[in-house]
Amino acid sequence: MAAVKFVISGLVQGVGFRAAVSRCANSLGLSGYVRNNADGTVTAVAEGPEEKLTVFEMMVRNGCGSFARVDRVEKSPLEEASCGPAFQIR
């Protein structure tokens, strides 16, 4: 299992982006969470097999089928996320 943190910038709040990210993660069987940040960005932490995290990253970069406009995605590997069994919206 691997874990990755994404900080997503653009028009990503108020457009259903967190729910879309959650649907994408759940469709891949990933655990983790997505949350809004005070600066207008969104953070997503995902944990699962490397190949599924790669697919998830591509989905996030494309807005996960929402009305979001993703301008930038900062990706950081995490040593251990301990996200639990499901993906949550926080």
Residues spanned by the domain of 18 = 2-78
Per-residue pLDDT at 23 exceeds 80: yes
DSSP β-bridge partners for residue 29 = none
CATH no. for residue 53? Answer: 3.30.70.100
85 inside domain? no
Catalytic position from the list 36, 61, 69, 90: 36
What is the rounded average pLDDT of the residues 10-18?
A: 97
- 65 lies in some domain: yes
59 is a domain residue: yes
Q: What is residue 83's predicted lDDT score, i.e. its pLDDT?
A: 73
87: in domain:
no
36 carries an active-site annotation: yes
Residue 86 lies in a domain: no
pTM of the model: 0.94
Give yes or no for residue 27 having a pLDDT over 90.
yes
Instruction: Tell me if 69 is assigned to some domain.
Output: yes
Q: Over the stretch 30-88, which tens digit does the pLDDT of each residue have?
A: 999 999 999 999 999 999 999 999 999 999 999 999 999 999 999 999 987 677 788 99
Number of domains in the chain: 1
Contacts for 89 with CB less than 8 Å, ≥ 6 apart: 18, 19, 22, 33, 34, 35
